[in-house]
Amino acid sequence: MIGPNKKYEIEVEESDGGLIVDVEGRRAHVEIQQVEGENSYDVRVDRKSFSTHVEEETESLITLTLDGETVTYKRPGVVGQDPRSPEPQAMQVEAKALHSPMAGKVISVQAKPGMLVKDGATIVVIESMKMESVIRSDRNGRIKVVSVKQGDAVSRGQVLVHFN
């Protein structure tokens, strides 16, 4: 079973009518079809069908709802700009902030004002749907303001920290 907080080696190759995806030696035939005019997709893995919706997509994170369950994945690295990512000007308002990718409750806060952090450093841990998610810095920088504290309820898109 694939779980959160584990890194997987994934290989993808094109095939007739879809993709062959190999996750740690387990191969599956995958077909993806976009639902017209929406950020939703019908996905078929071998003989099982799923509906998915892209809730939010940035250079470092992607949040999906897959058959009613919302999950957020950190991208390991981006080569080039994904055409479905928001235009840079849409993110300029809070460009020096880290936003919560989900609604939930803050379990712990690792960041402190003035702290130097590296890309990938743990900033906060949020509990959502009975699962803890580590929210990591998406850049190197210095924390200017921490906008949340342990026990706070946060909404998706809420600012967690501001950077200098």
Please list the residues that pair with 104 across neighbouring strands: 154
Tens of pLDDT along 72-119? Answer: 766 654 444 444 444 433 333 345 888 888 889 999 999 999 999 998
Nearest to 74 by CA among 119, 129, 34: 119
Q: Enumerate the CATH 2.40.50.100 domain ranges in the chain, comma separated.
A: 94-164
Name the CATH architecture for the domain at 94-164: Beta Barrel (2.40)
Average pLDDT, the chain: 77
Mean pLDDT of 48-70: 76
Tens of pLDDT along 125-136? Answer: 999 888 899 999
Highest mean pLDDT among 48-57, 76-85, 96-105, 143-152: 143-152
pTM equals: 0.45
pLDDT score for 21:
79
More confident residue, 1 or 37: 37
Q: Are 159 and 98 in contact (CB under 8 A)?
A: yes
- Beginning with the edge strand found earlier in the chain, give each strand of the sheet holding 97-99 in spatial order: 97-99, 159-163, 141-146, 116-117
User: Residue type at 18?
Assistant: G
pLDDT score for 37:
64
Rg (CA), the chain: 17
- pLDDT exceeds cutoff 60 at 164: yes
Torsion sign across C-alpha atoms 126, 132, 135, 136: positive
Mean pLDDT of 143-154: 93
More confident residue, 38 or 6: 38
